[in-house]
């Protein structure tokens, strides 16, 4: 017989079957003393439903959440949904059944959450969105959203491209290939939107996105889609990638096609992971808009307030910077992810 907990863990694993099921996992970890959670001395249990492990950003985010939960002395129930919404929904349902104190999750896509979040509300379990937002007509379904402003990141990427083109002394048409993040995910929708806003307002005549497709935020996706872009549009001279991992995959295809990344094709991406900085210090990426994954400590503070019944800010934005090649070498040793 499966114990209740093992049964629930198995349910999440089964829901993940069809993908890389072996990696779908729900871990329980607890540490610290009961008193460290403060309040009435009762240890807080947090259920965290992660998107997956698609990128360097995500790896750093997971590490930050796990470490911060440990430092705060919470019991953390963690699951990896392998970028599949149905897995995340199963994980959230299992947290509701386990009566955790607070649920936090990073929604893989923006739509389709109302039903499961209503179940959490009925069970009186507060929900915090981390990193990615959702679309809902019912604002009472979550208490707070902590994460970056992705529209602004898109705008910053366009502004960065202006600088990159100027530095490269680029003349003539700007033919942009866009590698989009996961279809339907907030960072994919909004990074495209912010970029387009600046492009339409300020570069209508000289810039054009000639191809745009999802690479699912992965290196393999970026590599594969870029290879196809180079076949269909060999005159592309700029790549805007919604994250570093896709840019890093694309670099492999650009080199395989006998072109120089960072020269023949100017590259701007988002995140600022270490490998992105390394590629930038080698001259292969021209500019990176930072998106900070180290949300763990802020999230744990928020969890405590929510658990204590305090009123919290509805929207908490993370702070980040912009980096060009000249700053890459200097910044590299201090990068934390
Ligand atoms: O940019 C990408 C990851 O949601 C901000 O997801 C996050 C994005 C990040 O896979 O690398």
Question: Which CATH number belongs to the domain containing residue 213 in this structure?
Answer: 3.40.50.2300
Handedness of CA 195, 187, 180, 264 (dihedral sign): positive
Residue 102 lies in a domain: yes
Parallel, antiparallel, or unpaired for β 238-241 and 102-105? unpaired
Q: Is 58 in the pocket of ligand 1 (CB under 6 A)?
A: yes
Closest ligand 1 atom number to CA of residue 217: 10
54 ligand 1 Cβ < 6 A: yes
Residue-by-residue pLDDT tens, the chain, 337 positions: 334 333 333 333 333 333 333 334 566 665 443 434 444 568 999 999 999 999 999 999 999 999 999 999 999 999 999 999 999 999 999 999 999 999 999 999 999 999 999 999 999 999 999 999 999 999 999 999 999 999 999 999 999 999 999 999 999 999 999 999 999 999 999 999 999 999 999 999 999 999 999 999 999 999 999 999 999 999 999 999 999 999 999 999 999 999 999 999 999 999 999 999 999 999 999 999 999 999 999 999 999 999 999 999 999 998 888 899 988 888 888 888 8
Report how far ligand 1's centroid is from the alpha carbon of 18 (Å).
Answer: 23
Structural domain count of the chain: 2
Cβ of 271 closer than 6 Å to ligand 1, yes or no, is yes
Domain identity same for 177 and 286: yes
| Angstrom distance (rounded) from CA 132 to CA 181 | 12
233 Cα: distance to centroid of ligand 1 (angstroms) = 27
Q: Does any domain span residue 4?
A: no
Tell me how far CA of residue 282 lies from CA of 161, 218, 223, 285, in angstroms. Answer: 18, 21, 19, 8
Same domain assignment for residues 168 and 35: no
Two structure tokens written together for 290: 């930072």
In a domain, 42, yes or no: yes
78 and 178 housed in the same domain:
no
211 lines ligand 1 (CB under 6 A): no
Residue 3 lies in a domain: no
Rounded CA separation 293/276 (Å): 14
Domain region containing 136: 10-147+293-318
């Amino acid at each position: 017989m499966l114990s209740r907990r093992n049964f629930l863990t198995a349910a999440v694993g089964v829901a993940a079957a069809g993908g890389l099921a072996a990696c779908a996992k729900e871990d329980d970890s607890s540490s610290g003393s009961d008193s460290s959670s403060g309040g009435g001395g009762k240890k807080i249990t947090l259920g965290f439903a992660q998107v997956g492990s698609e990128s360097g950003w995500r790896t750093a985010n997971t590490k930050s959440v796990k470490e911060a939960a440990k430092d705060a002395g919470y019991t953390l129930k963690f699951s990896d949904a392998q970028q599949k919404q149905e897995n995340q929904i199963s994980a959230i349902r299992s947290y509701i059944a386990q009566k955790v104190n607070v649920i936090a999750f990073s929604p893989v896509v923006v739509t389709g959450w109302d039903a499961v979040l209503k179940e959490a509300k009925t069970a009186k379990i507060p929900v915090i969105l981390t990193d990615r937002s959702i679309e809902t007509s019912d604002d009472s379904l979550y208490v707070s959203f902590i994460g970056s402003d992705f529209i602004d990141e898109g705008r910053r990427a366009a502004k960065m491209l202006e600088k990159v083109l100027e530095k490269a002394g680029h003349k003539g048409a700007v033919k942009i290939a866009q590698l989009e993040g996961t279809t339907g995910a907030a960072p994919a929708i909004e990074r495209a939107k912010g970029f387009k806003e600046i492009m339409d307002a300020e570069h209508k005549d000289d810039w054009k996105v000639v191809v745009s497709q999802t690479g699912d935020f992965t290196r393999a996706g970026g590599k594969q889609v870029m290879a196809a872009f180079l076949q269909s549009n060999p005159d592309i001279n700029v790549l805007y990638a919604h994250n570093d991992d896709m840019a890093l995959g694309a670099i492999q295809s650009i080199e395989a096609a006998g072109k120089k990344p960072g020269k023949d094709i100017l590259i701007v991406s988002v995140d600022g992971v270490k490998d992105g900085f390394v590629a930038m210090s080698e001259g292969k990426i021209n500019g990176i808009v930072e998106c900070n994954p180290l949300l763990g400590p802020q999230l744990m503070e928020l969890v405590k307030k929510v658990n204590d019944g305090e009123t919290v800010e509805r929207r908490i934005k993370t702070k980040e910077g912009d980096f060009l090649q000249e700053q890459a070498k200097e910044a590299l040793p201090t990068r934390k992810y």
